[in-house]
Structure 1
């Protein structure tokens, strides 16, 4: 019995590493019966890491990290160029060719989010005219597709002979979408489909119709989480791009308020809006902001924090060079003063540029206060900033080198409190700063159920 248990434990703790002696290779498409099912391009050459050429490469002298990164960057650029090949072409006339092009761009049929709905345009007694719509499931409002696109087209009659005239007739008389656009290139098709619109294709038409149908789920407007005020509005930005710009326009009702939208990103496009007041904002400032955003060369911009690092002069500085806010009223107030606001994709904050340290010390509530209480609160804010910066150093200097500056009773109290501390004053201050930052970070990251408990325990420890 003991031998059996010992043998089982020995087998459990023993690893058979003979499999590592075999060369790793990716099988060719001929060896995989399902290769055609998951292949985007049938003529792509198979990859095999055990070829003679690769074996020779592995025997070469190791290259430097700089050379390796350059080669990797070059290979990545070639892969991106290959993936985008054909997107600048114009739309074909044949509907089957259109469908094959869409399958290659969106990796169908593996990609289940992209929906292609084919239908027949026309009525009985006439030859049906083929058509299809393309959209991303989860980004569109299906009621708009069903009742504002498919229903008018599927009961369509009295068509014109010229396909272009017929597509123009569709835009002018049949599709009741509030935002429609005719496009002729595949790059515009890919961009609009991924943006949440529905693209309509008709056979024998060398153009496509884009219909606004965005309808993804998003958080409703709620109260601010970081910039609470006593006097002022109680709404904050959300993750909806158009809702954020609308909240600013709702307050700043000026025909001179301009919103420019740019697309940033090589792998995935992210909408970036530049908002300013024409005639109030310095044109050179707007031109500089536009230049910095257009010069961003990155695969994907996730949030406003990433864009902030790309447009700053010195990202390594401790003092922020842009102002980040979640309040629409603060953005409207600063736009009226000549600043520029930047909205990034579905980020719930806005970026204000340019700013200085004095601007960072103001809050959105300052504009709602009278001069006397407002100035008093700003003075308190500056005193608190200087105290937080200088008090630790002042405490070390006074207790270690200039103890005669303190009253005798206070000095004895400090000495009595430090009698049991086995560290110098410098180490004590550094440990206290570390403990405060640790408690603050823990209070933010841990679940809200035990967050107050951590704060109470940290206060008791300190």
Structure 2
């Protein structure tokens, strides 16, 4: 028994956390200058990595060099043309020199981007990021040549944020492509990109983007600090970062806007927001954000303001429908019959005559079924997903009514609620409304309209308390800024939007010149 307990202690002993190769190396761990020693140390770190490739070159009788790279991350043809061929062609000049410096090698390379490093951490990080590294005997410096190339998806129309009028391009998984799409739209030196890496094993590249003349420096600093505090083994998507940087991670309401549209990112940058781009993810993060900005679509700014204002009013109206319609139906049919017209009471009573369940059970059955059909439609292949969800809803609803399990009015209520939930431009906000709808259904089933009002009151109190990087979530309603109401429930013409949002753009409020149209 003692031996068994001893073995259990050994097997359950806490293991040290796995760290990445670049983190295990000390920043002051410099190259020795002995090519064999440095090269053997690097080969030990990449032992077992079949994609690790190297090429040794004798420059002259006294000097030699080695080229290191990872197959699949480097454009081999360009690397041969810009690195190997110049070194081989320059051997005649190297033969005449008794001592070759790293600067001599740099002078013969034809690559556009060549940098230098002095320690192992920089060497390993450069190899892992797709650069070509050159080590030379007798030199304590290494050359890093940027000749990266890997398979990537072409720029295509965003899937999650489709618009009728507006730009058709969306972000890709290549962070360089994403930054270039932003730079094309904002050709100003005020646009800044700050690079950092997160993930001890993945070393995922993250870019903080902002306009220096507009963004609040305190908010930029807070974004930078929160990202630096993230200590995780790998970042696979920008969604990993959201939960680390939110002010209120346990709230149902999203405090970070996720978008794959570069035009939406640029529009928010012009209002003093900060964007976070993550390598291998087509979704950019925008902070700080407010509830009303979650309700706005990029297409709102490309159409005429009259139609846009009408659509926004409809959108907010159906926000109430998506949140309250099922609970109002349950409260009326269970507690407040006097609120319905007589003819409607008879119609609802006749439809529910054969239904064996109370209204709340009936509503929960239909809501859960509708949620299951919605998720099934998303997970199935695209050509048949929408067909299955629509046909499934029709078949299940009709069969349930004919079988007497649910009433026909409730099917109408659930269908209308489902349609209303598809009107929100932000998918995370849709999820919050869907969950809160169940919360209000339970309150309506127990307390009637009093329960609904109590639930709405708690939701409003929660929204008032929320912050996104210190910015009130219900701004500009709470706190109230009259001049910023021009782009909330309606959208006024562009020539009337003369100021940026007070909370994020107060360093540079003016956004229109004096020669614009006035009435």
1:110-145 CA distance string (max 9 Å, x none): 2101112222225xxxx2732211111111111121
> Pick from 398, 414, 429: which aligns with 2:348?
414
| Cα pair distance change 1:447/1:340, threshold 3 Å | same
* Alignment: residue pair count: 393
CA RMSD of aligned residues (A): 2.3
TM-score (norm 1): 0.80
| Cα pair distance change 1:53/1:218, threshold 3 Å | farther
> Pick from 33, 37, 43: which aligns with 1:93?
33
1:119 aligned partner? 57
Say which is worse superposed, 198-207 or 332-341, in terms of deviation. Answer: 198-207
After superposition, where does 1:60-459 map in structure 2 within 5 Å?
72=14, 75-77=15-17, 84-85=24-25, 88-106=28-46, 108=47, 110-122=48-60, 127=61, 129-156=63-90, 157-159=92-94, 160-163=97-100, 166-171=101-106, 173-455=107-389, 456-459=391-394
1:65-123 CA distance string (max 9 Å, x none): xxx7xx63xx32487699824674111222221221112212x2x2101112222225x
Distance 2:137 2:381 in 1: 55
Distance 1:367 1:235 in 2: 16
1:314-351 CA distance string (max 9 Å, x none): 11211100111110001001101100000011100100
Distance 1:53 1:113 in 2: 47
TM-score (norm 2): 0.72
| Cα pair distance change 1:85/1:329, threshold 3 Å | closer
Q: Is the 8 A contact 1:232 1:365 kept in 2?
A: yes
> 3-state DSSP class of the match of 1:76?
coil
Q: Is the 8 A contact 1:121 1:155 kept in 2?
A: no
Q: Is the 8 A contact 2:172 2:282 kept in 1?
A: yes
After superposition, where does 1:44-59 map in structure 2 within 5 Å?
55=4, 57-58=6-7
Distance 1:382 1:97 in 2: 68
1:222-267 CA distance string (max 9 Å, x none): 0110111121101000010100111111111111000000111122
Q: CA deviation at 1:169?
A: 2.1
> 3-state DSSP class of the match of 1:331?
helix
> 3-state DSSP class of the match of 1:376?
helix
Alignment gaps of 5+ in structure 1 = 1-51
Distance 2:310 2:19 in 1: 60
Alignment gaps of 5+ in structure 2 = 398-519
1:347-393 CA distance string (max 9 Å, x none): 00100000110111111111223332222111111111111001111
Q: CA deviation at 1:449?
A: 4.5
Distance 1:180 1:54 in 2: 59
Distance 1:194 1:441 in 2: 38
Say which is worse superposed, 407-416 or 198-207, in terms of deviation. Answer: 407-416
Q: Is the 8 A contact 2:19 2:200 kept in 1?
A: no
